[in-house]
A and B are shown apart, each in its own frame.
Chain A
Amino acid sequence: MEKINILILEDSPEEVIILKEILSEQYHITGVARNYEEATQLFNDKTPDIAILDIFIDGKREGIQFADYINNHNPIPILFLTNSKDKLSFIAAKKQKPYNYLLKPVDPLEIRFAIELAIEKYVDQIGQLTTKENSALEINNTLLIKKGNVLIKVAIADIYYLESDDKYCNIFTSDAKFLVYKSLKSFSETLPQNFVSIHRKHIVNINQIASVHPNDYMLTLKNGQNLPVSQRHRKLLLELFTIIK
């Protein structure tokens, strides 16, 4: 469990101070680049989750150029910042997809919203984070969970199991638990194949299972917790488990 990593490309020091002040509480700013070269370097070293780019760096369209680089190498959501409002600076930006922009000066509420919107657009699920409380979104092998104002990043591989609670779902990792407004059924449709249904109420990550006790209809997770296995799912689980073990 960690905060979302943001890479910033911005050449004005004042702007950077403001962005840091607005964002550092809820996000982790993994790097601030002042030009295209620094940006590509940081991008490869720090593997950020989202990029916030000033379109014009020192009068050149380096922000757009860097967005090209991101999209050609390892695509992540991108949010453009700009001073000039006319179409001229955007026309080249328009080629980028998804294309999100925000006008300077940035407003705290606006930029947090714009970040979430950029993420939603990236996975083509507009409204999933911005309009719901306790929502979750799958993106590039991680689960983004919105808790209050904060977006938390959980690697899908780190999830132990999910527990249904009516329209909600509890997501358990080795040391934490998240309540998410999304049904177990809709999770089961999108999670990778190593997530297996063991019970009407539970989906488990088979990579996190320590042992299976078929006679007791039980399994033990790597953190020592026991989960019940229903009769219906026992056989399937045993098959999977023996194959993998």
Chain B
Amino acid sequence: MKIINYYVFIIFTLLTISVFGQNTYTETWFINHCEYCKKNPEDRNIIKLGDVNAWHNAHVSLSKRNFKASKKYILSDIKTNDTLKQLFQNHLLYALGLEDKAKNYLLSLQDVSDKSINQFIFKSLGSLYLKKQQYDSANFYFEKALKIPIKQSYYLKNEIAQNQAYIFLLKSKYKEANELYQNILITNKSKRDTFQIAKTYSNIGNLYFEEYKDLIAAQYFDSAYTFSKSIKDLELKKTITYNKYFISEVLKKHSEAINYLKEHSAINDSLQKQNSLWQVAQEKEAFNIAQKQAELDIKTAESNTLIAISVGILIAFLGGLILYRKLAQQHKQIKKLNRELNETNTVKNQLFTIIAHDLRSPVARLKQLFQLRAVKKDSDAISSDKNVSKIIDSLSLLLDNLLNWSLSQSDLLSVQKDWFPLWQIIHQIEQQYQSLIEEKDIQFNIDIKKKVLVYGDMEIFKIVIRNCLDNAIKFTPEGGNIIISGEEEDETFTVFITDSGIGIPEKVLKSIFEIQTNKAQNDTTGRKSSGLGLMLTKSMIQLNGGTIKIEQNPTGGTIVNISVPFKNVA
């Protein structure tokens, strides 16, 4: 579920990059108002404060997304004029997600006479409305920003065009979006801005994907991928490799897809590492500043206490350094192990998915061939086919289980919940098992009211019931009985699957939902059961917002309780 959302909002990810990524319009604007940056255009580090303005440290901290430090610096800035400072604080509010406050303030500032500030305000308002999904208002302010009669920077034009194209995309105006993107691409290319080129290619890819033109989309994602090779921004690289993986999956190039997925998770890992490194660096910086402060204090103190204190600090520092290095080393090791583990696990899950996928198709085809022969009323064939059909049925259940399990492991299983009639679903599954039930001469009853509707993903729920019924039939001897009944309580319906089978020993019951080879139990024909079905059942029913419990039937056999949300048909 998470990944689905992630995909749908890939374009959003790109959008946030355009707001906070490398050298945005906003950032450049703040830099242009920085005295220090004018003199030292290369220095983008935190500087020691003295006669230099705190404004520099504030915008540097902001671009490093260290909002707390940024706030501290801007509040200590006494030289910059109030409007600029307020705009900066306002942008901080926006960055922290307090859009409404930021918006109200910006609206109240609209008629400032300075054209550059005016343009900045309109652009910010446009971005704000875009974030709040009020696209017409966003467009209105973007247009206003573009109409201010002063020189427009490349960043401003590029960002606004990107945002406007995105709005077209959201409104399904594909043609307009495409035209705009192609223009952006030309400008990006003339500026040799590799980052923007990669981003625009990826956006155009998304556009074609939206239009179901998968093959063209693949070409654009490919170009985006080529350009992303030479950029440093990991967020964008992550998005682009994910898009490559996704489009390869859609085009059924599974082995290519798996490579891109691997690359994607590797980037994701280093992104996390970068973040943690950044944290460590920040702590170090805080430590250094504290140390410098301490030095200053020491200078003013008496000479003998100076020695004592500096020795003390040195010891503390050395101790801290040793501890820090030790921890960092351990941290590094754990990270490395984690990464390796993650990688192998992803590969394993993908492998399962591909195996189950590729096996499922021929089995489905086989099943269909038998159906076709049955349709043609080939009576000779049908009589001998009955056993084969049964084998195919159980094979297909096994493959469905394997596929669903591996999909759920890698978070790729789609869940679509809605109300559906319970009795009908159980009846359908009973029909599929009819020949097995008859063969074992099992008394089978469904005692559930037809008007019961339950809530969940119907296909996933079917898998659950199929597994439970499959088990019940397997472990019930000839002439036994199976009853599927139900009980309603407030908004929950509990389905009971009661069998008169051989039952499950108390000891096994405790760990029944875990995968363990040693608890495999022989069924009535002496065959072993893997328990994959049961394990799957539990995670599937949880995905469906329900619970499952297995208990012993006091009169022998097993009772499976499945509880799900319910209502009655009106």
Contact = CB atoms under 8 A, between A and B. Distances in A.
Interface of A: 14-15, 17-18, 21, 59-62, 64-65, 83-92, 94, 99, 101, 103-105, 107, 109-110, 113, 117, 121, 125-128, 130-132
B432 interface: yes
B349 to A, nearest CB: 12
A198 B214 CA distance: 60
A99 B415 CA distance: 12
Of the candidates A21, A87, A101, the one having the most CB atoms from chain B within 10 angstroms of its own CB is A87
Contacts of B403: 85-86
Contact of B421 (A59, A60, A90, A127): A127
B450 A132 contact: yes
B232 to A, nearest CB: 30
- 6 nearest interchain CB pairs? A87-B414, A127-B569, A105-B368, A21-B375, A131-B450, A126-B419
Contacts of B400: 85
Contacts of B333: none
A226 B521 CA distance: 73
Contacts of A127: 419, 421, 451, 453, 569-570
Given A105-B367, A131-B569, A17 B372 contact: yes
Nearest to B413: A87
A86 B453 contact: no
Nearest to A121: B418
A208 B459 CA distance: 46
Contact of B414 (A21, A90, A103, A109): A90
Contacts of B252: 59
Interface range on chain B: under 10, 10 to 19, 20 to 34, or 35 or more? 35 or more
Given A17-B372, A88-B249, A132-B450, A126 B214 contact: no
Contacts of A60: 212, 214
A17 B375 CA distance: 9
Contacts of A110: 428
B360 interface: yes
A138 to B, nearest CB: 14
B353 interface: yes
Contact of A64 (B212, B421, B428): B212
B164 to A, nearest CB: 23
B73 interface: no
Interface string B417-456: 0111101100110011000000000000000001101000
Contact of A86 (B368, B407, B421): B407
B387 interface: no
A14 B374 CA distance: 13
Given A18-B375, A99-B416, A61 B7 contact: no
A132 B424 CA distance: 11
A105 to B, nearest CB: 4
Interface of B: 4, 7-8, 212, 214, 246, 249-252, 353, 357, 360-361, 364, 367-369, 371-372, 375, 400, 403-404, 407, 412-414, 416, 418-421, 423-424, 427-428, 431-432, 450-451, 453, 459, 569-570
A13 B400 CA distance: 25
A125 B451 CA distance: 13
Contact of A105 (B364, B412, B421, B424): B364
Nearest to B257: A88
B494 to A, nearest CB: 19
Given A85-B360, A94-B416, A132-B569, A113 B368 contact: no
Contacts of A65: 212
A18 B353 contact: no
Contacts of A87: 4, 407, 412-414
A109 B488 CA distance: 27
A17 B369 CA distance: 11
A101 B570 CA distance: 24
Task: Name the residue among B7, B251, B375, B427 with the largest chain A CB count within 10 angstroms.
Answer: B375
A76 B221 CA distance: 35
Contacts of A92: 212
19 contacts: A14-B369, A17-B372, A18-B368, A18-B372, A60-B212, A61-B212, A85-B400, A86-B403, A86-B414, A87-B413, A88-B249, A91-B7, A104-B364, A105-B367, A126-B419, A126-B453, A126-B569, A130-B421, A131-B451
A83 B361 contact: yes
Nearest to B250: A88
Contacts of B251: 59
A90 B459 CA distance: 13
A131 B449 CA distance: 9
A180 to B, nearest CB: 15
B249 A105 contact: no
A15 B246 contact: no
B368 A14 contact: yes
B372 A109 contact: no
A121 B420 CA distance: 10
A94 B414 contact: yes
A97 to B, nearest CB: 11
Chain B CB within 10 Å, residue with most, of A14, A84, A88, A117? A88
A3 to B, nearest CB: 20
A18 B373 CA distance: 10
Given A131-B450, A132-B569, 11 more contacts: A61-B214, A61-B250, A65-B212, A86-B357, A87-B413, A91-B8, A103-B459, A105-B364, A107-B428, A113-B424, A131-B423
A17 B569 CA distance: 35
Contacts of B407: 85-87
Contacts of B416: 90, 94, 99
A135 to B, nearest CB: 10
A65 B214 CA distance: 12
Contacts of B419: 126-127
Nearest to B410: A86
A104 B364 CA distance: 7
Given A64-B212, A87-B4, A105-B368, A130 B424 contact: yes
Contacts of B413: 86-87
A64 B211 CA distance: 10
Contacts of B414: 86-87, 90-91, 94
